[in-house]
Amino acid sequence: DAMVIQNPRYQVTQFGKPVTLSCSQTLNHNVMYWYQQKSSQAPKLLFHYYDKDFNNEADTPDNFQSRRPNTSFCFLDIRSPGLGDAAMYLCATSTLRFGETGEQFFGPGTRLTVL
């Protein structure tokens, strides 16, 4: 089945140690998103790619970076994780093809713990 896959599902890192979260999709969607969701809060958009065009949200810290080497893969890099970066990180995709519902398809998320 076409889907959005996130690896790993659980990631533990140390304070200040760089970490990379990955997302892949088999939907061939041209838009990919990264959200941060802290406990009991709504998902918050960090940035998104429209094809290779990167779009950062104004309040996304510089500590967060992203790469999209091809249509299928997108990575979230946290350069120096702090305790406040512990959260669920959600990847999503969507397409602009005519006739599509415009919905976003979400992966299961990666839960990041910072020690």
Partner 1 sequence: DAKTTQPTSMDCAEGRAANLPCNHSTISGNEYVYWYRQIHSQGPQYIIHGLKNNETNEMASLIITEDRKSSTLILPHATLRDTAVYYCIVRGDGSGGYQKVTFGIGTKLQVIP
Residues that bind partner 1 (CB under 8 A): 4, 31, 33, 41-45, 48, 50, 55, 90, 92, 94, 96, 101-109
Residue 83: name the closest of 16, 22, 37 by CA.
16
Nearer to partner 1, 10 or 62 (CB): 10
Asked whether 3 and 23 are in contact (CB, 8 A), the reply is no
- Tell me how far, at minimum, the Cβ of 80 lies from partner 1, in Å: 26
- Tell me how far, at minimum, the Cβ of 96 lies from partner 1, in Å: 6
Nearer to partner 1, 42 or 83 (CB): 42
Nearer to partner 1, 92 or 112 (CB): 92
CA–CA distance, 64 with 39 (Å, rounded to integer): 19
Nearer to partner 1, 23 or 114 (CB): 23
Neighbours of 65 (CB within 10 A): 17
- Tell me how far, at minimum, the Cβ of 16 lies from partner 1, in Å: 27
Residue with tokens 């890192």: 13
- Tell me how far, at minimum, the Cβ of 17 lies from partner 1, in Å: 25
Q: Is the peptide bond before 8 cis (omega within 30 degrees of 0)?
A: yes
CA–CA distance, 54 with 65 (Å, rounded to integer): 10
